[in-house]
Amino acid sequence: MIPIANPELGERETDRVSAVLESGMLADGDEVRAFEREFADYCDTEFGVATANGTAALHAALEGLGIGAGDRVLTTPFSFVATANAIRHAGAEPVFADIEPATYNLEPAAAREVARTDDIDAILVVHLYGCPAELDAFVDLAAELEVPLIEDCAQAHGATYCGEQVGSFGDAACFSFYPTKNMTTGEGGIVLTDRRDVAAGVERFVDHGRTDEGTHATVGHNFRMTSLAAAIGRAQLERLPTFLERRRENAARLTEGLAGTSLSLPTEPAHARHAYHQYTVRVTDRSAMRDHLAAHDVGAGVYYPACIHEQPAYDGVTHDAPAAERAAAEVLSVPVHPNVSADDIDRITGVIADYAA
């Protein structure tokens, strides 16, 4: 079976973890501070605050920006549910606008229309599957509304927009380091920002509201990253450029091999550099094609089979998202990760072409 995901870990990660184990400093500490600096430098931001996971990063970013009870956050309905869950955890409510069918990201005109009729206190964009959202449009909209912009970069490590790293455009940006992501810490996340006040608020929130030894000024959580996770992350960050190049090479080979089939293939906007966390096609008979792939030992995944507003937890949330609902019914992702070989790609495209010629 060619798996849909296959994290690549090796001697570099083992050596880093072993060094932490030998030091005895397993929890939050110098290794985490080093990872925060290195990842912030990679994304060209002033501050980085590491967290226990990506959802914690989203929640902490909202808290650091002062988003809370009674606030409304404009976001996409087509994402992992954690995007909206974090808004709810902060005490706010999501407000959904529709997506661009080609990129699966929040559509600027739809977002502007929702903002015209609804009081919005923040905008949370998602760079879904590793494809950057239209950041210029959302930076402008956030400025017009005088609200903060948050980037959900959970799937977009290394993606760029107009030559700049995603995660460097918003008032805050959040990454996940779950094992299937473009790089991993096992579990983990980080909040990036250029605003000192936001960084201080996030640092306080992820450490039980602590301001100094023995003083807890606000209520917070234990959302800290461990030194073990940071050690893995530092090694993975060194390898991220290679991982990204492999993903992009695999994506290009998939696109070449699938040209002329009945599938709708991923697009890369001219001003963006796609990180290809997923290589996602559209197919009207998804279940049948997924069964066909499985019968030929090719893994596939559906990200995501239902929009967030279609989940029972969000029943009744206002939405007008036909493009998102259609995408949820048609998307199918096939292996593109760095451990997929050229021969694997040829096998994948051959199996798909036999079905969707």
pLDDT of 213 above 80: no
Please check the confidence at residue 44 and state whether its pLDDT lies above 90.
yes
CB burial class (10 A; 0-12, 13-18, 19+) of residue 173? buried
Q: What pLDDT, in 10s, does the model give residues 275-290? A: 999 999 999 999 999 9
Tokens 């974090």 -> residue? 86
What is the CATH architecture of 240-356?
Alpha-Beta Complex (3.90)
Identify any residues that bridge with 26 across adjacent strands, giving them in sequence order.
Answer: none
Locate 122 and state its tokens: 């923040």
164 falls in which pLDDT band (50, 70, 90)? Answer: very high
Note the pLDDT tens digit of each residue in 316-328. 887 899 999 999 9
Quote the CA–CA distance of 293 and 62 in Å, as a whole number.
40
* CA angle 222–226–228, rounded 5-degree value: 165
pLDDT given at position 214:
79
Percent of the chain beyond pLDDT 70? 100
207: enclosing H helix or E strand: none
d(Cα 46, Cα 194) in Å, to the nearest integer?
5
Tens of pLDDT, residues 77-132:
999 999 999 999 999 999 999 999 999 999 999 999 999 999 999 999 999 999 99
Task: Tell me what pLDDT residue 210 has.
Answer: 86
Which CATH number is associated with domain 11-234?
3.40.640.10
In tens, the pLDDT along 245-271 reads: 999 999 999 999 999 999 999 999 999
Angle of CA points 2, 339, 132, to nearest 5°: 100
Residue 140 has pLDDT above 90, yes or no: yes
Q: Cα(271)–Cα(265) distance, rounded to whole angstroms?
A: 18
Asked if the model's pLDDT at residue 357 lies above 80, the reply is: no
pLDDT for 174? 98
Q: What does the domain layout of the chain look like in residue ranges?
A: 11-234, 240-356
The model's confidence at residue 200, banded by pLDDT at 50, 70 and 90, is: very high
pLDDT of residue 216: 86
* 25: confidence class by pLDDT, cuts 50, 70, 90: confident
Give the pLDDT confidence score for residue 356 in this predicted structure.
84
Give me the pLDDT at residue 212, please.
Answer: 79
pLDDT given for residue 49 in this prediction: 98
Fold match flag (11-234 vs 240-356): no
Q: Mean of the per-residue pLDDT values for the chain?
A: 96
The average pLDDT across 183-189 equals 97
Mean pLDDT along residues 284-301: 96
Predicted local distance difference test score (pLDDT) of residue 165:
98
Which residue has 């015209």 as its token pair? 116
